Amino acid sequence: MSDKSSNQMWGGRFAAGPDAIMEAINASIGFDKRMAAQDIAGSRAHAAMLAAKGIVTPSDAEAMREGLLTVLSEIETGDFAFSTALEDIHMNVEARLKEVIGEPAGRLHTGRSRNDQVATDFRLWVRDQLDAAEAGLKALMRALVAQADSGADWVMPGFTHLQTAQPVTWGHHMMAYVEMFARDLSRVQDARKRMNESPLGAAALAGTSFPIDRDMTATALGFDCPMANSLDAVSDRDFALEFLSVASISAMHLSRFAEELVIWSSAQFRFVTLSDRFSTGSSIMPQKKNPDAAELIRAKIGRIFGANVALMMVMKGLPLAYSKDMQEDKEQVFDAADNWMLALAAMEGMVKDMSANQPALEAAASAGFSTATDLADWLVRELDLPFRDAHHVTGSLVAMAEQKDCDLPDLSLDDMQSVHAGITAAVFDVLGVHNSVASRTSYGGTAPVRVREQVARWKDALA
């Protein structure tokens, strides 16, 4: 008989319990207790299946079902004493079940292993997070569409190289992010579809000789089907990596918008005012109102992408099937998920509350010769100049305006004609920023009519 201090779940062949350091490095209960609900759902599905297949008696299965519900409510109410000696959530739950229902608890682990158990729990947990991300992304997209709706025709500078390029509309800029988050959303949905297969019943690695019904447990847990290869089922974590890469791309999108909000809310830009609810003050400078939420969202990509890289490194080079290395999968994903959800919610809150400063946007839109391309296009259209020549003429006019320290529309017709004699007063129509944006009606362009079409499309899609 083994020493009493050896593990009650697997200590049969052990004469002594683990060293304290061994226990410390081995235990995952400190973090995998977050999968308690998933673990118990998996066990309930497994127990019901064991009874349906005559592998355990109906009365044992009923005892397991009730006992598992008791354990779940203990965990939910905080009445559960987690034990590091019991390593992980799987053995903590089973050991407690034994205390609650006695002998039948020992039959629950028939035809399964912690290897398929943990793979199942983790898939269920990640699947919940994908669903939460879907909700978070949609909420953020709705907030952006609302912003676009109220400012579909407000002009602002569009930038390339962060230099004024051409006027665009506020609505168009907001809708650009809607498109990005929509692709994040489709990646989330796509990942969910691919990962929604059940590892349960793969057992340790090779399947089991018990006549289990994997379709039954898969259905009970909301999976589309059981995974087709037991070695694969217990040994891959690509679903978690896919979650992290989708999260990384989305966090990258969030960081770009966050950066724009940081710039836009500065005294130098004043494009937007963030609400007090999503700003902070400085302890020394009384005038300060800081965009901390935006800065933190900008930074979240660090840990999220870090998690992606870390798990990729954990998985790289692992032989089939399960290796304990894979216990290092969870903390990365938990942390990334928490922070992605938080970033999505904070961004939604900021976008909902922020107000765009329409006069400041408009003033900035006209600065920096932003309608120079409109002038060049006019020369092509009205005077039939080749675009390259029109570009050159316009460049000379910009240089002239720069010299006179004025904007393009402030040049006189004489000034214009001194560069190209064919220019007429009609040119001034295209130099205004409103005409400029209104003219960009190509599909996907910044014209308010196009923006309103996109707003309507997304309002429908997100309703």
Query: Does residue 315 belong to the site contacting ligand ARG (CB under 6 A)?
Result: no
In the set 44, 96, 114, 187, which binds ligand ARG (CB under 6 A)?
114
Q: How far apart are CB 117 and ligand ARG at their closest, in Å?
A: 7
Query: Does residue 326 belong to the site contacting ligand ARG (CB under 6 A)?
Result: yes
In the set 61, 118, 261, 354, which binds ligand ARG (CB under 6 A)?
118
Q: How far apart are CB 32 and ligand ARG at their closest, in Å?
A: 6
Q: How far apart are CB 233 and ligand ARG at their closest, in Å?
A: 13
Q: How far apart are CB 83 and ligand ARG at their closest, in Å?
A: 14
Q: How far apart are CB 33 and ligand ARG at their closest, in Å?
A: 11
Task: Provide the 10 A C-beta neighbour count for residue 27.
Answer: 20
Nearer to ligand ARG, 293 or 337 (CB): 337
Nearer to ligand ARG, 114 or 192 (CB): 114
Please report, as a single letter, which amino acid is at residue 229.
N
Query: Does residue 115 belong to the site contacting ligand ARG (CB under 6 A)?
Result: yes
Scanning 111-119, 124-132, 189-197, 409-417 for contacts with ligand ARG by CB under 6 A, the matching segment is 111-119
Helix count and strand count (H, E) for the chain = 18, 6
Distance CA 187, CA 176 (A): 17
DSSP character for 33?
G
Scanning 297-305, 324-332, 353-361, 453-461 for contacts with ligand ARG by CB under 6 A, the matching segment is 324-332
- Rounded to 5 degrees, φ, ψ at 259 are -60, -40
Nearer to ligand ARG, 118 or 274 (CB): 118
Distance CA 261, CA 350 (A): 9
Q: Which residues contact 54 (CB under 8 A, 6 or more apart)?
A: 211
Distance CA 32, CA 108 (A): 20
Query: Does residue 257 belong to the site contacting ligand ARG (CB under 6 A)?
Result: no
Q: How far apart are CB 327 and ligand ARG at their closest, in Å?
A: 4
Scanning 178-186, 206-214, 277-285, 318-326 for contacts with ligand ARG by CB under 6 A, the matching segment is 318-326
Applying CB under 6 A, the site for ligand ARG has a residue count of 10
Query: Does residue 327 belong to the site contacting ligand ARG (CB under 6 A)?
Result: yes
Half-sphere exposure for 389 (CA within 13 Å, toward CB): 9
In the set 6, 7, 9, 28, which binds ligand ARG (CB under 6 A)?
28
With tokens 């939910």, the residue in question is 76
Contact call for residues 369 and 403 (beta carbons, < 8 A): no
Helix (H, G, I), strand (E, B) or coil at 248: helix
Nearer to ligand ARG, 10 or 210 (CB): 10
Scanning 57-65, 113-121, 185-193, 372-380 for contacts with ligand ARG by CB under 6 A, the matching segment is 113-121
Q: How far apart are CB 172 and ligand ARG at their closest, in Å?
A: 47
For residue 224, CA distances in Å to 42, 173, 215, 428 come to 15, 39, 9, 63
3-state secondary structure 298-343: HHHHHHHHHHHHHHHHHHCCCCCCCCHHHHHHHHHHHHHHHHHHHH
Distance CA 365, CA 407 (A): 11
Nearer to ligand ARG, 112 or 214 (CB): 112
Active-site entry in 5, 83, 282, 355? 282
Active-site entry in 161, 209, 283, 442? 161
**Diameter of the chain measured on Cα atoms:** 106
Q: How far apart are CB 326 and ligand ARG at their closest, in Å?
A: 5
N-terminal to C-terminal alpha carbon distance within the chain: 65
Nearer to ligand ARG, 115 or 436 (CB): 115
Structure tokens at 10: 């697997």
Contact call for residues 308 and 248 (beta carbons, < 8 A): yes
Query: Does residue 322 belong to the site contacting ligand ARG (CB under 6 A)?
Result: yes
Query: Does residue 245 belong to the site contacting ligand ARG (CB under 6 A)?
Result: no
Q: Which residues contact 149 (CB under 8 A, 6 or more apart)?
A: 171, 455, 459
Nearer to ligand ARG, 165 or 204 (CB): 204
| 387-403 and 372-383 helices, crossing angle to 10° | 130
- Rounded to 5 degrees, φ, ψ at 164 are -55, 130
In the set 88, 184, 236, 348, which binds ligand ARG (CB under 6 A)?
88
Query: Does residue 127 belong to the site contacting ligand ARG (CB under 6 A)?
Result: no
Distance CA 9, CA 15 (A): 14
Active site residue 161: yes
Nearer to ligand ARG, 124 or 343 (CB): 124
Chain positions contacting ligand ARG, by CB under 6 A: 28, 32, 88, 114-115, 118, 322, 324, 326-327
> Which residues are part of the catalytic machinery?
161, 282
